[in-house]
Structure 1
Amino acid sequence: MSTVTRRSGASTAGVALQIIADILAGIIALWIALYLLEANPSNELVDVLHDAARWLAGWSYDLFPIETDWLNVLVNYGIAAAAYLLIGHGLAARLRRA
Structure 2
Amino acid sequence: MSPHYRSTQAGRIIAIIADVMAFILGLWILMYLLDANRANDFVQFIHDTARWLAGWSHDLFTFDEAWARVVAGYGLAAVVYLLVGHAVANRIYRH
TM-score over 0.5 for the pair? yes
The corresponding residue for 1:38 is: 35
Q: Which runs of 5+ in 1 are unaligned?
A: none
Q: How far off is 1:93 after superposition?
A: 0.1
- Residue-by-residue CA offset, 1:56-78 (whole Å, 9 max, x unaligned): 00001111111101111000000
Cα separation, 1, equivalents of 2:57 and 2:66: 15
Percent identical residues? 47
Task: Name segments (4+ residues, structure 1) moved above 6 Å.
Answer: none
TM-score normalized with structure 1 length: 0.94
State the aligned residue count.
95
1:7 Cα offset (Å):
1.1
Alpha-carbon RMSD across the aligned residues, in angstroms, is 1.0
C-alpha displacement at 1:10, in angstroms? 0.5
Q: Does 1:80 align with 2:77?
A: yes
Pairwise mapping of residues 58-73 of structure 1 onto structure 2 (< 5 A)? 58-73=55-70
Paired letter, 1:56: L
TM-score by length of 2: 0.97
Give the aligned partner of residue 49 of structure 2: 52
Where does the alignment leave 5 or more consecutive residues of structure 2 unmatched? none
